[in-house]
Structure 1
Amino acid sequence: MDSGATEAVRPGDAEPTDDQIDPSLVLHARDLRKSFEDTVAVDGVSLAVHPGERVGIVGPNGAGKTTTLLMLLGAIEPDSGTVDLVGQRLPDGRGEAMARVGFAAGYIPLPERMTVRETLDLFGTLYGLAEADTAADQVLEELGIPHLAKQRCDSLSSGQGTLVGFAKAVIHQPELIVLDEPTASLDPDVAMRVRDRLEVMNTEHNATLLLTSHDMREVERLTTRVIFLRAGRIIANGPAEEVVEEAGYPDLETMFLAEASRLRTTEV
């Protein structure tokens, strides 16, 4: 299973030989590397994502998923390598790029003293929406949480906060939606609502999805391609069924558990 490959560019992907931005790609990263003191978090990751793709980045804890996501978004700078995000080279083009990207993660706090509606109005305005209030009403209705509109963000439960964070990320109908554990802390019925909304945005608006999750059934449902990380390196890339077949596992969850067990064994 471990070929040592770090490239996540599928057959047919354009891979320019120079340092130019490829306009056909929503996201293009080349040879990303990141260390924290003596710990190598990401070790030579390259990937390319086309418009409308649904890509999952998976792997056990410590595989480098979140660090990779944060570098792809320009939230942290790589030690080396380049990132092109919706046609903008990071870090210089980050401001323009992020206006076309939505990002949600449980560790991103909401403004405590603002109501949910005020928060969504604010971010809609920051994204340049002409009718931010209308967009806020719409996304609250679509997620089934209009009753939270007047509630202060610091009074929300963990699951409610996750939903509002998701609403904030998609209020402007972004070209690329990046999600770190999108349904963590959500009840099953609410998680299903989020998945359904993501699928609608992908099929009806051609939004590109990039997500991480420890729920392999969620990954299999939401994505058409999986990038599997181990110790900061890509060990597999392709449709989930092809990845698990090549690795000799019956499904993605079994492969994930085997990798997690392998990691625990090497740490002992």
Structure 2
Amino acid sequence: MVAGAPSGVRRGGRMTAPPPVLEAHDLVKEYRRGRAVDGVRLVVREGERVGLLGPNGAGKTTTLLMCLGAVEADAGSVHVLGHRLPAGRSAAMRGVGFAAGYLPLPDRLRVHEYLRLYADLYGLRAPRAAVESALEHFGIGHLANAIGTELSSGQRTLVGIAKASLHTPRLLVLDEPTAALDPDIALRVRTGLLDLCARHGTALLVTSHDMVEVERLCERVVFLAAGRVTADGTPEEVARQFAQQDLEGVFLHLAEERDRERAGRGRAEAGAV
């Protein structure tokens, strides 16, 4: 069994799937430029590590934001930890952590002050111990007294993930956590996340353009293209579905299809003028 994989529950001699922490059904989101998400279904179960993948414009970030209740779907439903969004967002988010490689850190707060602020916001009973544990878990204890402007982009990413995992969430959502990271930092992120999932049964939903890192981190991947789910399975299953050797091949295949479709639309629009 993959470390940290959901083990299920034995009932009546049979193994049943772990309970879902996220259920999104038939999500639709339209913008002025067109339909960004078109009927997406996504289920993430307790302890599961899932990659939400696809080329630029596939609908990943919009889907992620709808699953967090930050953007309201035009159609479909989202349940997080048993709470329907957006009405139950406040209750659901108590058990969710979120981090993104592009989110800034406060310039003037020291790292330990920043983490302590969130530990207090989460209402943790032992906030100081939680901060120390997070610093140690992701190997950033030496950065405790640094301020945001003194950190590299990789270090800021580690601090952001440490913040998101302070309260040991049941679901951790990460948007491009390893973008442009040095290999040693990416390894530290991956090791920390795998350990968190294995120890606490935390489910992980992550978007990334780094297919090699996804194959190392995720046991299941969901590919989007043009706002729709085109594949859902283990990395090996999805690669076989597209007759590719690995996820990078799948990604490039879908990106080429997207470019051909855009070029075709452009020619059609030019001809209609």
- Tell me, yes or no, if the aligned pair for 1:220 and 1:240 is still in contact at 8 Å: yes
Q: Determine the structure 2 residue equivalent to 1:17.
A: none
Q: Determine the structure 2 residue equivalent to 1:214.
A: 209
Q: Determine the structure 2 residue equivalent to 1:185.
A: 180
TM-score, with normalisation over the residues of structure 2? 0.86
The structure whose Rg is larger is: 2
Unaligned runs of at least 5 residues, structure 2 = 1-17, 264-273
**What SS does structure 2 have at the residue aligned with 1:81?**
strand
Opposite residue 139 of structure 1, the aligned amino acid is A
Identical-residue share of aligned pairs (%): 55
Q: Determine the structure 2 residue equivalent to 1:15.
A: none
Q: Determine the structure 1 residue equivalent to 2:64.
A: 69
Moved more, 65-74 or 101-110: 101-110
Aligned residues: 246
Q: Determine the structure 2 residue equivalent to 1:8.
A: none
Q: State the 1:227 CA deviation.
A: 0.6
**What SS does structure 2 have at the residue aligned with 1:44?**
strand
The CA distance in 2 between the partners of 1:94 and 1:235, in whole Å, is 28
The CA distance in 1 between the partners of 2:248 and 2:212, in whole Å, is 7
Aligned partner (choices 53, 73, 78) of residue 78 of structure 1: 73
Q: State the 1:185 CA deviation.
A: 2.9
TM-score, with normalisation over the residues of structure 1? 0.88
The CA distance in 2 between the partners of 1:109 and 1:73, in whole Å, is 19
Unaligned runs of at least 5 residues, structure 1 = 1-22
List structure 1 segments (4+ residues) > 6 angstroms apart after TM superposition: none
Instruction: Summarize the alignment of residues 6-155 of structure 1 with structure 2, pairs less than 5 Å apart.
Output: 24-155=19-150
Q: Determine the structure 1 residue equivalent to 2:235.
A: 240
Q: Determine the structure 1 residue equivalent to 2:269.
A: none
Q: Determine the structure 1 residue equivalent to 2:194.
A: 199
Moved more, 200-209 or 155-164: 155-164
The CA distance in 2 between the partners of 1:176 and 1:24, in whole Å, is 12
Determine if the alignment matches structure 1 residue 174 to structure 2 residue 164: no
**What SS does structure 2 have at the residue aligned with 1:192?**
helix
The CA distance in 1 between the partners of 2:47 and 2:201, in whole Å, is 5
Opposite residue 43 of structure 2, the aligned amino acid is A
